[in-house]
Amino acid sequence: MREKELSNLTGSGSHRFTLPKSHILSGRRNFEELFSGSSLIKNKDVNLRYATYPDAGRNLLVGFIAPKKIGNAVHRNRTKRLLREAYRLNQHIITDLPEFTDIGLHYAFLAKRTTLSFETVQSQVVELLTELRERVSANRSPL
């Protein structure tokens, strides 16, 4: 493998740009828990639902949702691919913070429409992750 290809696999600096299956939120019960007792951060085209748990064993898990009302399967799958890629490249905003090691955090990105460019999705995902980091950090700070 060429050196350039190796650097793409390992990422730049200390960030590793992978999204393993073990970090993906799945299962009906997990999504029901997320939607029943969660908070919402709204944005123009993408929303973020999140729930924190005091149990560190629940880890950081992320889901990607494109509801049926926004189009056929082709459009929904493309939208979820865009969301996954934008998150994969910017997950360090959340995962690199030390205060997230002793809590469980489940969150899901919800697309509101399908006619999105990657640049739009990426900028909104960064905004949502930054807001999530601020909210969770504020809730965890001692009074």
The domains of the chain, with CATH numbers, are 18-134 (3.30.230.10)
Whole-prediction pTM? 0.82
Please report the pLDDT score of residue 140 as a whole number: 67
37-89 residue pLDDT tens:
889 999 999 999 999 888 767 788 999 999 999 889 999 999 999 999 999 99
Cβ contact 63:25 at 8 Å: yes
Instruction: Return the residue matching tokens 């999530």.
Output: 132
pLDDT for res 143: 45
- Give the angle 127-17-90 at the CA atoms, nearest 5°: 5
Which neighbouring-strand residues pair with 41?
Answer: 48
